[in-house]
Amino acid sequence: MSEQAAPYEDKMKKSIATLESDFATIRVGRANPHVLDKITVDYYGAPTPIAQVGNIAVTDGRTLAITPWESSMMKPVERAIQASELGINPSNDGKVIRIVFPELTEERRKTAAKDVKKKGEDCKVAVRNIRRDAVDHFKKLEKKSELSEDQLADLEDEIQKLVDKKTKEIDGLVERKTKDIMSI
* Domain count within the chain: 2
Question: Does one domain contain both 71 and 112?
Answer: no
Residue 151 falls inside a structural domain: yes
| Shared domain check, 96 and 132 | no
Residue ending a domain, among 80, 100, 120, is: 100
Judge whether 60 lies within some domain: yes
In a domain, 1, yes or no: no
* Tens-level pLDDT at each residue, the chain (184 residues): 678 888 999 999 999 999 988 887 776 667 778 888 888 898 888 888 888 889 998 888 788 899 999 888 888 888 888 888 777 888 888 889 998 887 778 888 888 889 999 999 999 999 999 999 999 999 998 888 888 888 889 999 999 999 999 999 999 999 999 988 887 6
Whether residue 64 lies inside any domain: the answer is yes
What are the CB-based long-range contacts (under 8 Å, 24+) for 53-61? Answer: 53/77, 57/33, 58/31, 58/32, 58/33, 59/31, 59/98, 60/31, 61/30, 61/31
